Amino acid sequence: MQPTRRVAALLAATFTLSITLPAVALASSTLSISGATASFPLVSLLTQRYAKLNKKVKFKLSQGGTQVGINEVAAGRVSVADVSRDPLPADPAGLVFYPIAKYYLCVVTNKSNPLANLTQAQVEAIFTGKVTEWRGVPGASANGPIDVISRNAAAGTLSNFQTLLIGGKKVSGPKGAPIAEKPSEGLQRQAIEKDPNAIGFLSGYFASQGVNDVGFGGVGCTLANADSGQYAGVARFYEVTKGKAKGAAASFINWIDSSRSAKQIISTQWIALK
């Protein structure tokens, strides 16, 4: 009897602790953030710095895509959403968008196909399935059919790419045939890295390694060109809250907006708002 009782007591104690401990931990304020995979690297750097300066705040960071962030913040499951596209009419009412930085979108190809430049008309023709062969693209060294690697519909980068770089058209295969749609920027880059015939689009941070970034309309897809305003594919990252930001969320967003250390982090790979 004795050993079983001891085991039972131990189990009961563990159970009670596992319930009460997290509740105790919650006493300091925790800011939960979810959303865009494109802005995740930036937000994660910002939260690390902020948590160092402000020991009372803890962050719970997750990704999932712009639409996840929008849905979760609207439902009150997280306090802040990362969003990589401008507000849309279909977004739930009552959300407040705070711009935190600008980023740029590059058209990218496989490293073995170091295409230097495409005009807007060419990009449009490729991403809407009008041009299907690499030999129809001057300057390309790949041969055979073009593999367009896109993102799923909920991605903020897809919606920005369509408005900024292909004149509001929809990315699609030839005659509307299905194309590869990846659920995250990382997987999209991985697919382009491995496929010599691939073309796709990535935010500047992800385009900076492993793939070849293609100039757009004679302007190279670089941080400097995006910063100077010459490059066309520049969009904004937002932090989004339900109603006006309050408490810890408000001070975090304010800090991004006003502090010099935040601006420093942003200007390493992204563009600080002026």
90 binds other proteins (CB under 8 A): yes
Least gap, CB of 264 to other proteins (angstroms): 32
Q: Binding mask 129-168 vs other proteins (x if CB under 8 A, - otherwise)? A: x--xx---------xxx-xxx--xxx--------------
Choosing from 87, 92, 139, 218, the residue that interacts with other proteins (CB under 8 A) is: 92
Least gap, CB of 46 to other proteins (angstroms): 23
95 binds other proteins (CB under 8 A): no
In angstroms, rounded to a whole number, what is the distance separating the alpha carbons of residues 188 and 182?
Answer: 5
175 binds other proteins (CB under 8 A): yes
Least gap, CB of 242 to other proteins (angstroms): 13
195 binds other proteins (CB under 8 A): yes
Choosing from 114, 196, 217, 220, the residue that interacts with other proteins (CB under 8 A) is: 196
Asked whether 58 and 27 are in contact (CB, 8 A), the reply is: no
| ∠ Cα 192 167 182 (to 5°) | 25
Choosing from 3, 22, 178, 243, the residue that interacts with other proteins (CB under 8 A) is: 178
Q: Whose Cβ is closer to other proteins: residue 86's or residue 181's? A: 181
Strand pairing partners for 180?
149
Choosing from 71, 79, 113, 203, the residue that interacts with other proteins (CB under 8 A) is: 71
Asked whether 70 and 35 are in contact (CB, 8 A), the reply is: yes
In angstroms, rounded to a whole number, what is the distance separating the alpha carbons of residues 43 and 33?
Answer: 9
Q: What are the helix (H) ranges across the chain?
A: 2-25, 40-53, 66-74, 120-127, 156-164, 185-194, 204-207, 223-228, 247-258, 260-269
DSSP 100-156: EEEEEEEEEE-TTS---EE-HHHHHHHHTTS--BGGGSTT----SB-EEEEE-TT-H
264 binds other proteins (CB under 8 A): no
Least gap, CB of 132 to other proteins (angstroms): 5
DSSP 176-199: G---EEESSHHHHHHHHHH-TTEE
Choosing from 40, 57, 65, 106, the residue that interacts with other proteins (CB under 8 A) is: 65
Strand pairing partners for 95?
242
67 binds other proteins (CB under 8 A): yes
Site stretch for other proteins (CB under 8 A), options 95-103, 125-133, 225-233, 247-255: 125-133
Least gap, CB of 195 to other proteins (angstroms): 6
In angstroms, rounded to a whole number, what is the distance separating the alpha carbons of residues 242 and 209?
Answer: 35
Query: Which residue is associated with the tokens 């962030």?
Result: 69
Q: Which residues bind other proteins (CB under 8 A)?
A: 64-65, 67-68, 70-72, 74-75, 77, 88, 90, 92, 129, 132-133, 143-145, 147-149, 152-154, 173-183, 187, 190-191, 194-198
